[in-house]
Amino acid sequence: MISYLCGMELEQSYLLGKLSGPIFEILTESAEALQLETYLIGGFVRDLFLRRPSKDIDVVCVGSGIALAQEVVNRLGKQAKYAFFKNYGTAQVKYKEVEIEFVGARKESYTRDSRNPIVENGTLQDDLNRRDFTINAMAICINRERFGELIDPFNGLEDLDNCVIQTPLDPDITFSDDPLRMLRAIRFATQLGFFMTTDTFESIERNKERLSIISEERIVDELNKIILSPRPSIGFELLEQTGLLAMILPELVALKGIETKEGIGHKDNFSHTLKVLDNLAQTTDKLWLRWAALFHDIGKPRVKRFDNKLGWTFHGHEYKGMKMLKEIFQRMKLPMNDRLKYMEKLVAMHMRPIALADEEVTDSAIRRLLFDAADDIDDLMLLCEADITSKNPEKVKRFLYNFRLVRSKLKEIEEKDRIRNFQPPIDGLEIMEMFNLPPCHTVGELKLAIKDAILDGKIPNEYEAAYGFLLALAREKGLELFAYI
């Protein structure tokens, strides 16, 4: 199907205005100079119609994409930064805040055991045929005589209007050729709030095992985009329903379901987890904090017990979940660095503020929470507030009110006692010098006693107070002060 911008529902002035900048004039001049049939294509065109901002421009020409990119660079001058990838026939040009990807029109074929295609030169139709979804298989000509002409052979514009995700060709072929497209379908449905057609959904179910040829890094990249969506629960529900989640993160699937015993059931912890993730998505864009929400209860299936008096219990699930994270990070090739430590801390501590919010808040408990959470205290509080998913509005109101009290106490004690990231005023080396001790258990006990005394509010976080406390404690232990200056 070929139509023109003036015949579309979106105003002609809006679209032509978006294509009227100097960068598009240079693209047109370059295409004319080389006599190359040239189009804007893919996600850039889709986002034009969705009125989504985009700084990435995808350009395809019938001919050499690298030659076109070189001509554009020559016209842009020294401000342009570029990279040519001759083996792939692609090029990338960065100019100010815009990034342009160039490629020659091509057709692709695949082998069963790889998502890397065999590439040949092709026509524009060949290039559109290989696109993942109809909404990404539209092109706008930027040659001067046809400037603004839309090429839409798969009715992608109609699918945009109807909020539909479907493949241009047979979905079984599309997903089998490149299984990453299954995750991309779910990601687009999540980000855009679109619906997959029945054929698309069922094809993902049939082809889910093909995901095994995709690297963990590429899978995580798509998961990150789902997690950063306005309502990430949509994506994870689709991942679970299609069977992909069981292949990627079986620990989350294990949360699903309600077990009843003696007439007592527990909540569906999978649904609860997704609700926590959605709650957190309303308050923060921090990727790894959202990952923590996804994993905060993964220990529950392994510690679940039924007690005749208490009903269902999940004692210690936060510590079990913390211990599970390292294996997950290794398997998924997630960063084994401070990201893991951060996640372990939040998962292990996510019950602490909730316990404080459910009872009288003491200064000592607040000091210890602040000391243990350190610079991650604000993230921990956001996670805990998101974790209140009760359907009882009065219970939610009470917990959130108590959390405000906890936050107020945290601020007050931080300003007064300087507890966050504090180190005891007297360290182990000084203790050894004071009492002529070698490195030993006694030194550790004394240092810990000073820290506990400060956290419990027995002494202020000051050197003189700590020194006096240490001397008194040493006398009790029969230690004599060594000649110490």
Residue by residue, pLDDT tens for the chain (485 residues) are 334 443 444 456 777 788 888 999 999 999 999 999 999 999 999 999 998 888 899 999 999 999 999 999 999 988 899 999 887 889 999 998 899 999 999 876 656 666 566 667 889 999 999 999 999 999 999 999 999 899 999 999 999 999 999 999 999 999 998 999 999 999 999 999 999 999 999 999 999 999 999 999 999 999 999 999 999 999 999 999 999 999 999 999 999 988 878 778 788 999 999 999 999 999 999 999 999 999 999 999 999 898 888 888 889 999 999 999 999 999 999 999 999 999 999 999 999 888 777 666 778 888 888 888 988 999 999 999 999 988 888 888 888 888 888 888 888 887 776 777 677 888 889 889 888 889 999 888 898 898 888 888 888 888 899 899 999 988 888 888 775 54
305 φ/ψ angles, rounded to the nearest 5 degrees: -140, 155
For the chain, where do the domains classified as CATH 3.30.460.10 start and end? 2-162
Distances (CA, A) of 209 to 85, 166, 236, 242, 251: 32, 20, 17, 11, 18
CATH code of the domain made up of 164-248: 1.10.110.30
Distances (CA, A) of 60 to 71, 122, 138, 401: 14, 11, 11, 56
- The sign of the dihedral angle between the CA atoms of 203, 40, 232, 155 is negative
Query: Which 3 state secondary structure label does DSSP give 251?
Result: helix
CATH code of the domain made up of 2-162: 3.30.460.10
For 349-381, b where at least 16 C-beta lie within 10 A, e where not — what string?
bbbbbbebbeeebeeebbbbbbbbbeebbebbb
pTM: 0.87
8 A C-beta contact, residue 196 and residue 165: yes
CA distance 272 to 420: 31
For the chain, where do the domains classified as CATH 1.10.110.30 start and end? 164-248
Torsion of CA 122, 125, 126, 131, to 10 degrees: 130
CA distance 405 to 436: 46
Amino acid symbol at 149 = E
Query: Other CB atoms closer than 10 Å to residue 229's CB: what's the count?
Result: 21
Q: Which of 105, 110, 137 is nearest to 121 (CA)?
A: 105
**Both tokens of residue 248?**
């990627």
Q: Which of 50, 177, 66, 67 is nearest to 111 (CA)?
A: 177
